Amino acid sequence: MRQQDWETCKARAFWDRHSMSYEKWIATMRDKKHASHWRVLEQSFRHMPARPMIRLLGEDIFVKNWPEWRKMVKTPYKALFDTEWGFYVTRSRRFGFNAEAAKLGRKTHQEMFRFMLEHEPMPIYQLAKQLNRPYRRVFDGVKRLADRSLLRMDACIIQGRNSTLVSVPNVNDADAVWRIKHLEA
């Protein structure tokens, strides 16, 4: 599989360099001090398909380096690589790029974030019930994740009561609007 991926990627990005081997390419990609690191990196991200390239690099290398690389690389496919990065970090294609997602230290925060990726926006009280955790701890966790822009908190009125609706901001803000309209009725 790797050989097939390499032949496809090499043909698209390095068609003029028949001597470029996978070993040479991966060594150049990994070594920031290599003379042609940024040129090879740029050409790879500009011309190689996202998934085969990530398989060639390795998930761990891609996840670790993409936050830095995305600042430097000029590619029209940045959104595709963001989506793939989000998938490897959160195991959901609904979430794009946010470097903070890779830094979630507490298991409860990871659990809460992954839960919200799979569910529609909901009030904090309902989230606490779903996770079987105390409201105050869930509220504090949601606040920390919202401060990192991983979750979004929207004040709203549901069935005549003030509430805070929690959602994942990168998904689709229309979900939150739809939920508020239907819960108020």
pLDDT at 95 over 70: no
pLDDT at 174 over 60: no
Q: Residue 61 corresponds to which tokens in the numbers above?
A: 């290398």
Give the domain 105-184 fold: Arc Repressor Mutant, subunit A (1.10.10)
Q: What's at 137, amino acid-wise?
A: R
Largest separation between any pair of C-alpha atoms in the chain: 70
pLDDT digits (tens, 9 = 90+) for 48-93: 888 889 999 998 899 888 888 888 888 878 888 888 888 887 777 6
- Range with the largest mean pLDDT of 41-45, 62-66, 82-86, 127-131: 127-131
Query: Domain limits of the chain?
Result: 2-99, 105-184
